[in-house]
């Protein structure tokens, strides 16, 4: 590719032409939402999440910001902000990866193989290690309650995700983060 902008355009188009529902924000190509289905044979199977993607100007040399807009119970996803703790996105991103990798490989692997030793959601990590049956029940409860078509397609705030919401940042989330993640209890 001759420039990051051409690569960004190509990657977004590949994602749009795939089986994913992609909804651009403010008619731009740098911010969009993607409907993501829980992987088959996982606790998240049958769930549908809206994933917010923000591409930095330096994409693909700098990783995209990825966050769940509707709630998910997972050790490596912050329950309030939806931020994802995923090394391949946060620390070891490479321009060899593209957006399809994020949705076809990285996020499914995150849901299939949670890492409770590097949590963003300490409660989920603790429950997963101490009481796996109760953890499974809580994951399924969240899927039933927050990960249906209506949850993934409702209008949410266009507030930006914070670049500071990565694995090592476990500061308290603000009310603005609640709006970003689309978390309003019914």
Residues marked as catalytic: 85
Contacts of 83 (CB under 8 A, 6+ apart): 67, 77, 120, 161, 162, 165, 166
| Contact criterion met (CB below 8 Å) for 79 and 132 | no
Q: How far is it, in rounded angstroms, from Cα 150 to Cα 90?
A: 29
Nearest to 147 by CA among 58, 62, 61, 50: 50
Per DSSP, the three-state class of 108 is helix
Nearest to 12 by CA among 85, 102, 108, 83: 102
């Amino acid at each position: 590719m001759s420039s990051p902008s051409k690569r960004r355009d190509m990657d977004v188009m590949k994602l749009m032409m795939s089986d994913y529902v992609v909804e651009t924000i403010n008619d731009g190509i740098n911010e969009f939402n993607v409907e993501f289905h829980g992987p088959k044979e996982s606790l998240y199977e049958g769930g549908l999440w809206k994933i917010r993607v923000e591409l930095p100007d330096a994409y693909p040399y700098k990783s995209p910001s990825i966050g769940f807009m509707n709630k998910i119970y997972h050790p490596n996803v912050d329950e309030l902000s939806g931020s994802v703790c995923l090394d391949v996105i946060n620390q070891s991103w490479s321009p060899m990866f593209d957006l399809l990798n994020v949705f076809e490989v990285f996020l499914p692997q995150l849901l299939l193989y949670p890492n409770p030793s590097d949590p963003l959601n300490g409660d989920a990590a603790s429950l997963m290690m101490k009481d796996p049956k109760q953890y499974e029940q809580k994951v399924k409860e969240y899927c039933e309650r927050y990960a249906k078509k209506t949850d993934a397609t409702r209008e949410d705030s266009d507030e930006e995700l914070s670049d500071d919401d990565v694995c090592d940042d476990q500061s308290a989330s603000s009310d603005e983060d609640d709006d970003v993640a689309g978390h309003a209890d019914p």
